[in-house]
């Protein structure tokens, strides 16, 4: 199964069928105008000639119609898969059945993407362990929150300074520790400015460092009280594995939607 532009296919069908019928009519009248045979014989030969061209035209119409129906069915199946992929998992052995050679290519592409996602998941799990190790050994008192202000990580230095434990801090709101922080306003300010912001709460100066992903969206905020930390603006930082996954996923999406005209 190859990807076909439906408009081009329809135009080609009209041209081929019209040319076939035109050639049949031309031959029909050409034979009628020839000499050497009686009128009945000429008419018989002309009708046979025209009949063959009508049969040819019918075969062409049937073939093009079958191909168009096949294209429509594949389009509909791909549309259903695209919609399904938004809410549930896709199983290639089950959902790519009926797509012919295209389904085999999609299964191979899906397997490659899935393997890439597995490797990325493993790397993310390793990064989580690395984060925990660094938090246990870093000298800075610091907290890491998500964009809602929920604490995800805390350093041992912070726990010692504020007489708390990591278990008590995790998933609590940062404003329960620093009540003077206006979290919604602070998060909006950090996401727009892409630079650290200094705040104060309970006579403690707090430097808030935004952490962005490769799309320049803020995902985390690091809070460091009473001290400064080395900071690099990461909103334009690259991540090779993320870009590769994004590229492959984009190609997969284009293949699924390319048939739409």
Residue 245 pLDDT greater than 80, yes or no: no
Structure tokens at 216: 């320049």
Residue 145 pLDDT greater than 90, yes or no: yes
pLDDT in tens, 168-191: 888 899 988 888 989 999 999 988
**Which CATH superfamily is 139-230 part of?**
PAS domain (3.30.450.20)
Q: What is the mean pLDDT of the segment spanning 46-65?
A: 74
- Rounded to 5 degrees, φ, ψ at 35 are -115, 165
**In what order do the strands lie in the sheet containing 151-154?**
151-154, 143-145, 218-225, 204-212, 197-201
With left for phi above 0 and alpha for psi between -120 and 50, is residue 36 left, alpha or beta? Answer: left
pLDDT band at 256 (very low <50, low <70, confident <90, very high): very low
Residue 241 pLDDT greater than 60, yes or no: no
CA distances from 243 to 87, 122, 196, 239 (A): 24, 17, 26, 6
- Residue ranges per domain, the chain? 1-88, 89-137+238-261, 139-230
The answer to whether 43 and 221 have CB atoms below 8 angstroms apart is: no
pLDDT in tens, 191-220: 888 888 899 888 889 999 998 888 888 899
> What sign results for the dihedral spanned by CA atoms 249, 252, 256, 260?
positive
- Rounded to 5 degrees, φ, ψ at 206 are -125, 125
pLDDT in tens, 4-50: 556 766 777 777 777 777 766 666 666 666 655 566 766 776 677 67
The pLDDT value given to residue 223: 92
Residue 150 pLDDT greater than 90, yes or no: yes
- Rounded to 5 degrees, φ, ψ at 40 are -65, -40
Angstrom distance (rounded) from CA 240 to CA 83 = 29
Between strands 204-212 and 197-201, the pairing is: antiparallel
> What sign results for the dihedral spanned by CA atoms 242, 243, 246, 249?
negative
Express as a percent the part of the chain with pLDDT over 90.
Answer: 9
Residue whose pair of structure tokens reads 């909103």 in the numeric block: 235
The pLDDT value given to residue 248: 46
What pTM, to 2 d.p., does this model score? 0.52
User: What secondary structure does DSSP assign to 174-227, as a single string?
Assistant: GGGTSTT--HHHHHHHHHHH-S-EEEEETTEEEEEEEEE-TTS-EEEEEEEESS
- 3 state SS of 82: helix
């Amino acid at each position: 199964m190859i990807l076909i532009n439906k408009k081009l296919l329809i135009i080609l069908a009209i041209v081929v069928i019209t040319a076939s019928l035109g050639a049949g009519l031309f031959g029909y009248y050409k034979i009628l105008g020839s000499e050497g045979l009686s009128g009945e014989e000429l008419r018989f030969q002309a009708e046979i000639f025209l009949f063959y061209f009508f049969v040819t035209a019918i075969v062409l119409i049937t073939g093009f119609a079958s191909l168009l129906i096949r294209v429509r069915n594949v389009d509909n199946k791909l549309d259903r898969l695209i919609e399904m992929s938004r809410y549930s998992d896709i199983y290639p052995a089950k959902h790519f059945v009926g797509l012919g050679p295209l389904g085999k290519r999609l299964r191979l592409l899906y397997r490659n993407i899935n393997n890439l996602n597995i490797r990325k998941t493993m790397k993310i799990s390793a990064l989580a362990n690395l984060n925990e190790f660094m938090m246990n050994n870093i000298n800075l008192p610091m907290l890491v929150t998500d964009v809602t202000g929920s604490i995800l990580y805390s350093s041992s230095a912070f726990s010692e300074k504020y007489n708390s434990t990591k278990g008590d801090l995790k998933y609590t709101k940062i404003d329960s520790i620093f009540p003077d922080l206006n979290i919604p306003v602070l998060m909006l300010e950090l996401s727009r400015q892409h630079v650290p912001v200094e705040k104060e709460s309970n006579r403690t100066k707090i430097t808030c460092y935004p952490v962005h992903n490769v799309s320049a969206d803020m995902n985390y905020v690091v809070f460091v009280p009473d001290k400064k930390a080395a900071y690099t603006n990461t909103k334009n930082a690259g991540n090779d594995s993320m870009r590769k996954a994004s590229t492959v996923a984009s190609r997969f999406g284009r293949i699924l939607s390319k048939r739409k005209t």
